Amino acid sequence: MQAKNAHSASFRDPSGYIFVENGDVKRTINPIYFKQYKALTESGFYKNLFKNEVLIRHEEISKSEKEIIIKAEKIPFITYPYEWSFNMYKEAALLTLRLQKYSLENGFSLKDASAFNVTFHKGKAVFIDTLSFDFYTENSPWRAYKQFITHFFGPMLLAHYHGAQQLKLLASFIDGIPVKQISSMLPAKTKLSPLLYSNIHLLAKLEDRHNEDYKGEAKVASLSKKGQLNIIKSLYDYIKKLELKEKSEWGNYYDKTNYTNKAFDEKSLIINQWVGEVNPNTLIDVGGNDGTFVRKLQDDVELALVSDIDNNAVDFNFKTMRLNKETSMLPFVLDVLSPSPAIGLNNQERDSFLDRIKVFAPDITFALAVIHHISLSGNVPFQRSAEFFSGFSKYLVIEFPKRNDSWVQRLLNSKADFKDYFDFYNFDNFIEAYSEVFEIIEQKAIKDSERVLLLLKHKNLNT
Amino acid sequence: MHFLYFDPGLGAMIIQAIIAAVAGVVLFSKNLMYKIKMFFGMAKPQEEDVFDDIDIKDSEIENDSSGKS
């Protein structure tokens, strides 16, 4: 059934599959989905979603009795739900509900509501599963309702009550967090909320009861369109108001660092100068906090990935981006000490961070004020962090805080008795390790600080 | 019938009628409260937020470049 080189994540839906040809993302549509595709195209449904920038654009490139092939707009870097900040997750959830409402109003319905059907492109959430729309059958319930709860609503509620780390759970539950688990993890008081009781706790109970119905003897459920719209509207209103309880650890990071304004400006000046020389189209800022330094760049880049370990910093960046309507920034959560793994069937459904970043191949990498965290908090030898950066960086702008830096001192002091184990942390050792894979193009000490900025070039990666 | 390539959960299909009823009541009462607050001038002004409205507009203006990839 699947000819060509079907993408390894594209096998669940028999309507068609994705394949990559000469770098283009294409989709084969099987005859089983011809009717839907025709209706969606001819009614202007697809076209209107394109205009509203909520569905990834595609164009038809060939058509036969056996298959239709469409070519989709390419997304340079795909982020997964477990890499989104809280408000990114929220936008993706709201987008899915908006699409279902619009579908219903036009005689269609989303047949699945997987969080992996959404990603971020040009500054906002976009739906990428073109074949997810099916005909709506009058008075039928929403088939993807449970999936919406396990992929979106559940994780967001858990994040609300237990912190943003909960959003990473989807990396372990590729098809959503089991309803029973969501129900058991939520505080008892949520049972008093009619909306949470019905959507989570009652759902968990009923799922349990009907688990044993192997013969499918239960009567076929029915639900009016008005009823379904009520569910969607109520979930939309609830999710839109949902916030995180925790305050950011890094949110106002720049207010409490040891940078004088002068040093801060100088750092930005040096970075700008080097970026001007390298002239990159794409970049990744590892540990980029809220995107401050990328925003200070004078030259425009096509796409800047800004990652940070702290969900709140990423969230702050995302909100800033949305308010400024910036389209060339893509924030996401990344823990350098444990980047997203490859998951799913054959470990091939969702690619690891390293695989994706290698394909993206950024022209330049920023690692500003992260090396001391990696080395001291993570106990990572310089050789190993150099190995990490060298996997994808043609050019690397790295900031090295020396031993006398107050942050370094703080990290060292927290080691207490083991402080002596970290004698390796000094500039000479750093240079020695990084020189093995990188060529040092330039280094500049930042005045008024204990920090050095370096511009490195990979010895072997093609530039 | 349509293809069902993942398990929608039988319980989840049946329960939607109940959830819809609850949702109807919640929406109705929220709306009512809002109107009462409006009447007494207590309603908070709508905050500016970054999220789009629930409705996707049917735009008829031909200003797009569809087919562009």
Q: Is the pLDDT of residue A248 over 70?
A: no
Q: Is the pLDDT of residue B3 over 50?
A: no
Q: Is the pLDDT of residue B1 over 50?
A: no
Q: Is the pLDDT of residue B39 over 90?
A: no
Comparing alpha-carbon positions, the chain A residue that sits nearest to B24 is A230
Distance from CA of B69 to the nearest CA of A (A): 5
Residues of chain B contacting A175 with CB distance shorter than 8 Å? 6
Is the distance from CB of A206 to CB of A249 less than 8 angstroms?
A: no
The verdict on B33 touching A (C-beta cutoff 8 Å) is no
Query: Distance between CA atoms of B9 and A385, rounded to whole angstroms?
Result: 45
Query: Distance between CA atoms of A195 and A192, rounded to whole angstroms?
Result: 9
pLDDT at A258: 56
Q: Would B21 be classed as within a structural domain?
A: yes
Q: Is the pLDDT of residue B28 over 50?
A: yes
Query: Distance between CA atoms of A203 and A460, rounded to whole angstroms?
Result: 55
> Residues A277-313: pLDDT tens digits?
999 999 999 999 999 999 999 888 999 999 999 999 9
> Residues A109-136: pLDDT tens digits?
999 999 999 999 999 999 999 999 999 9
pLDDT at A257: 57
Computed on alpha carbons and rounded to an integer, the radius of gyration of chain B in Å comes to: 20
Question: Mean pLDDT throughout A308-331?
Answer: 94
Domains of chain A, start order: 16-72 (no CATH), 81-211+218-241 (1.10.510), 253-458 (3.40.50.150)
Q: Would B61 be classed as within a structural domain?
A: no
Query: Distance between CA atoms of A193 and B45, rounded to whole angstroms?
Result: 25
Residues of chain A contacting B30 with CB distance shorter than 8 Å? 237
Q: Where are the alpha helices (DSSP H) in A62-178?
A: 86-105, 145-148, 154-162
Q: Would B59 be classed as within a structural domain?
A: no
- Residue that is written with structure tokens 């795909």 in the block: A78
What is the interface size between A and B, counted as CB pairs within 8 Å?
164
Could you list the residue range(s) of the whole structural domain that residue B15 is in?
Answer: 9-42
pLDDT at B66: 41
pLDDT at A2: 46
Residues of chain B contacting A98 with CB distance shorter than 8 Å? 52, 54-56
Subunit contact A223:B20, Cβ cutoff 8 A: yes
Total domains present in chain B: 1
pLDDT at B5: 58
pLDDT at B64: 43
Q: Is the pLDDT of residue B68 over 80?
A: no
Structure tokens at A124: 């906002």
Mutate to test the interface with B, among A101, A234, A243, A319 (most CBs of B within 10 A): A234
pLDDT at B69: 36
Subunit contact A51:B13, Cβ cutoff 8 A: no
Distance from CA of B45 to the nearest CA of A (A): 15
Question: Mean pLDDT throughout A44-69?
Answer: 96
> Residues A349-361: pLDDT tens digits?
999 999 999 999 9
Q: Would B15 be classed as within a structural domain?
A: yes
Distance from CA of B29 to the nearest CA of A (A): 11
- Percent helix, percent strand, percent coil in chain B, to nearest 5: 45, 0, 55
Q: What is the mean pLDDT of chain A?
A: 92
Question: Mean pLDDT throughout A11-21?
Answer: 90
Structure tokens at A268: 């930005």
pLDDT at A1: 42
- Which secondary-structure segment (H or E) carries A36? helix A34-42
- Which secondary-structure segment (H or E) carries A286? strand A282-286
**Residue among A137, A195, A213 minimizing CB distance to B10:** A213
Distance from CA of A309 to the nearest CA of B (A): 23
